[in-house]
């Protein structure tokens, strides 16, 4: 089960973002200021970001952060699953699958994207089972906060 993030979830959000950025799912942690900026944007509007809290039996057990753009290539709204984290003891219980199915069934989304570390075999298998395929091109970035 999942529910939208609300303002009272700030500490919970920071807890899960911190777990995510100190896991094998990412290359390296990001500055705390980035958490602050994302939470502020989530509270300002739903224009660019949306966050959900995963729950199992009404107990929080993870989060997912989505970003949204318009893609001419896809012909509509492209949603990127920026971050997804589920506590280890709740993995394999169908939470991510339920969430991905929810996104796949939304008519207002033309494309779903997700990033995964190349050596994260478990996540890659899950994403492939959900219908994700590799893009035929690389992405490149400039992270100003790293300069």
CATH for 140: 3.40.630.30
Q: Which residues contact 30 (CB under 8 A, 6 or more apart)?
A: 21, 145
pLDDT of 51 over the 90 cut = yes
Mean pLDDT of 45-50: 95
pLDDT of 2 over the 80 cut = yes
Structural domain total, the chain? 1
Helices 32-44 and 10-21: angle between axes, nearest 10 degrees: 140
Burial of 28 (0-12, 13-18, 19+ CB in 10 A): exposed
- Predicted confidence (pLDDT) per residue in 123-135, tens digit: 899 899 999 999 8
- Cα angle: 40, vertex 110, 104; to 5 degrees: 85
Task: Please give the residue range of the domain that contains residue 112.
Answer: 2-146
- Predicted confidence (pLDDT) per residue in 9-18, tens digit: 999 999 999 9
């Amino acid at each position: 089960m999942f529910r939208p993030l609300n303002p009272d979830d700030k500490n919970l959000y920071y807890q899960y973002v911190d777990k995510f950025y100190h896991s094998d799912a990412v290359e390296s942690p990001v500055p705390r200021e980035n958490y602050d900026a994302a939470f502020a944007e989530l509270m300002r509007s739903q224009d660019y970001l949306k966050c959900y809290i995963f729950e199992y039996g009404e107990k929080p057990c993870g989060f997912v952060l989505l970003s949204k753009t318009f893609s001419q290539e896809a012909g509509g709204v492209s949603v990127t699953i920026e971050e997804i984290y589920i506590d280890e003891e709740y993995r394999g219980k169908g939470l991510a699958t339920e969430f991905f199915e929810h996104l796949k069934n939304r008519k207002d989304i033309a494309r779903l994207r997700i990033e995964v570390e190349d050596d994260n075999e478990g996540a890659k298998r899950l994403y492939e089972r959900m219908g994700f395929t590799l893009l035929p091109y690389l992405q490149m970035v400039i992270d100003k906060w790293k300069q």
